[in-house]
Amino acid sequence: MSGTNVDQLPGDSALFSGLSKKELKAVSRLFTPLTVAQGTVLTREGEVGREAMLITSGTASVEREGNKVATLGPGEFFGELALLTGAPRMAMVTADTEMVVAALSRQEFASLLDTSPKLAQKILVDAVRRLREGAA
Ligand code: CMP
């Protein structure tokens, strides 16, 4: 079954602050929760991207060309760049621990951006930051 409940989304995620109850409910329906084992490669640099993920629990490492560039944790999003740009994955993301992630298909991600302009703005600001870091 797909769809999470509002209380399954990371409540402390700055991404969702300022959303109305109605928006939160609509947003939470879009996500599919997945448990992944430590060491799982969640995105591979250079591959086509088909989903974006929000971390519910656990942490993941972000590597570009073999160099670690970031650690991501609960409430953080990844995999959005390939969906936004249509370009190949910019980095490899690997689970450092067992993780629970909330996944979105390309279409669900597009619906997420449509649900709330506030949320879309936050996701886009983070995406631009990551692209700038990648270009540096
Ligand atoms: P995407 O390119 O689809 O797949 C790899 C993901 O790693 C990318 O989307 C971002 O979500 C994430 N990512 C890339 N670069 C960084 C960075 N510098 N900091 C944090 N996350 C990043």
Give the pLDDT confidence score for residue 15 in this predicted structure. Answer: 86
Q: For tokens 């910019």, what's the residue? A: 90
| pLDDT over 90, % of the chain | 73
How many whole angstroms from 5 Cα to the centroid of ligand 1?
A: 26
Cα of 90 vs centre of ligand 1, distance in Å, is: 6
Q: How many CB atoms lie within 10 A of CB 30?
A: 20
- Confirm if 117 and 27 have CB atoms less than 8 A apart: no
Q: Is the pLDDT of residue 29 over 50?
A: yes
Amino acid at 112: L
131 lines ligand 1 (CB under 6 A): no
Q: What is the DSSP string of 77-112?
A: EESHHHHHH-PPPSSEEEESS-EEEEEEEHHHHHHH
Q: Which of 92, 50, 58, 49 is nearest to 76 (CA)?
A: 58
Confidence (pLDDT) at 49: 96
Q: What is the pLDDT of residues 63-121, one digit of tens each?
A: 999 999 999 999 999 999 999 999 999 999 999 999 999 999 999 999 999 988 889 99
**Residues in a beta bridge with 67:** 64
The vertex-40 CA angle with 38 and 46, nearest 5°, equals 145
Our answer on whether the CB atom of 78 is closer than 6 Å to any ligand 1 atom is yes
Which of the 8 DSSP states describes residue 98? Answer: -
Residue nearest to atom 12 of ligand 1 (CA): 78
Ligand 1 touching residue 69 (CB < 6 A)? yes
Is the pTM for the entire model greater than 0.85?
yes
What integer best gives the mean pLDDT of the chain? Answer: 91
- Cα dihedral 10, 69, 107, 124, rounded to 10, equals 80
Count Cα neighbours of 71 within 13 Å in the Cβ-side half-sphere: 6
Residue with CA closest to ligand 1 atom 16: 130
